[in-house]
């Protein structure tokens, strides 16, 4: 039986994780912690799942590593500097040369738990080198506090790396005048546009353009339930990961 704790247990994602864990025969929901609750019940967990906020997650991460607990992080906001900070706290990167500290737990930061979204990112990375232009449009519910989404930022970084490996420069863009934000945010040289709209859940389009053709790769999370198979995979798989920081579900999905 794997003992699972949830940080952000009263939130949209945290409450669904609690409900999902309760429905699994091999998992036991041992601790549910939200703002104002003591973290102590988490000390008895094998794995702690964090769906809190970008402002809260680093303190939670530090606590979990200190307590020697494996941690699955779904909270967004993990840009390059934050991932570096997380790696430092976790005692190294699990896949890096040089062993991470063996007595440290594993920390798995997952920008997107949806299998379809992970595949969308992978397909975008594969396609990026064949097109002159690449832009990302992400669309989310109006309650999302951060922009762009972690998934969009990661997609942009993956596209940017693939373009650099192929020797491609910047996407063509003749814009000389613009209103602030009209061309979106630029993440690693890739323009990322964020839409916030009541009624949406989580959606993303990767737009690729070349000689007389375009390719659009679109993924839609229609319900938060789409994240649960990935969360369960992470909860069950984290004990087999090397100590230190791992980013993304790709390894557990057999995509690396």
Examine the residue annotation and report whether 88 is marked as an active-site residue of this protein: no
Total number of residues that touch ligand NAD (CB under 6 A): 25
**Residue 78 interacting with ligand NAD (CB under 6 A):** no
Subset of 16-55 contacting ligand NAD (CB under 6 A): 33-35, 51-54
Q: Give residues with Cβ within 8 angstroms of 156, minimum separation 6.
A: 136, 148, 187, 188, 190, 192
Query: Nearest Cα to 210, choosing from 134, 156, 126?
Result: 134
Output the smallest distance, CB 62 to ligand NAD, in A: 11
Angstrom distance (rounded) from CA 133 to CA 135: 7
Is position 140 annotated as part of the catalytic site? yes
- Contact with ligand NAD (CB under 6 A) among 113, 118, 125, 159: 113
CB of 98 to ligand NAD, least distance (A): 28
Listed in sequence order, the residues at least 6 apart from 74 whose beta carbon sits closer than 8 Å to its beta carbon are: 13, 49, 50, 51, 110, 113, 227, 231
Residue with Cβ nearer ligand NAD (116 or 209): 116
Q: Where are the beta strands (DSSP E) in the chain?
A: 2-7, 27-33, 47-50, 70-73, 106-109, 133-140, 185-187, 190-196, 202-209, 214-221, 244-247
Using CB under 6 A, pick the residue from 1, 12, 80, 214 that binds ligand NAD. Answer: 12
Kindly tell me which residue out of 163, 206, 227, 235 binds ligand NAD, with binding defined by CB under 6 A.
227
Dihedrals phi, psi of 43, to nearest 5 degrees:
-65, -20
Q: Which stretch binds ligand NAD (CB under 6 A): 5-13, 80-88, 130-138, 179-187?
A: 5-13
* By the rule CB under 6 A, 76 interacts with ligand NAD: yes
14 touches ligand NAD by CB under 6 A: yes
Q: Pairing between strand 190-196 and 185-187?
A: antiparallel
Nearest to ligand NAD by Cβ — which residue?
Answer: 11
Nearest-angstrom CA–CA distance, 22 and 86: 29
List of residues contacting ligand NAD (CB under 6 A): 7-8, 10-14, 33-35, 51-54, 56, 60, 74-76, 110-113, 144, 227
Residues identified as active-site? 140, 144
């Amino acid at each position: 039986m794997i003992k699972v704790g949830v940080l952000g247990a009263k939130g949209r994602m945290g409450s669904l994780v609690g409900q999902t864990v309760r429905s699994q025969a091999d998992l036991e929901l041992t601790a549910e912690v939200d703002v104002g609750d003591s973290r102590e019940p988490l000390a008895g967990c094998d794995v702690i799942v964090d769906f809190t906020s970008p402002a809260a997650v680093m303190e939670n991460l530090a606590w979990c590593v200190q307590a020697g607990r494996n941690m699955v992080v779904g909270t967004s906001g993990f840009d390059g500097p934050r991932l570096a900070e997380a790696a430092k706290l976790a005692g190294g990167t699990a896949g890096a040369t040089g062993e991470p500290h063996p007595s440290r737990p594993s920390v798995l930061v997952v920008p997107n738990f949806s299998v379809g979204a992970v595949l969308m990112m992978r397909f975008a990375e594969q396609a990026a080198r064949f097109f002159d232009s690449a832009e990302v449009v992400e669309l989310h519910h109006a309650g999302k506090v951060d922009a762009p989404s972690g998934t969009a930022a990661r997609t942009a970084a993956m596209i940017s790396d693939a373009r650099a490996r192929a020797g491609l420069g910047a996407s063509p863009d003749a814009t000389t005048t613009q209103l602030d934000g009209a061309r979106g945010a630029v993440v690693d040289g890739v323009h990322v546009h964020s839409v916030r709209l009541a009624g949406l859940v989580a959606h993303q389009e990767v737009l690729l353009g070349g000689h007389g053709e375009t390719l659009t790769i679109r993924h839609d999370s229609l319900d938060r339930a789409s994240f649960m198979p990935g969360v369960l995979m992470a909860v069950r798989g984290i004990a087999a990961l090397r100590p230190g920081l791992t980013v993304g579900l790709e390894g557990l999905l057999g995509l690396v």
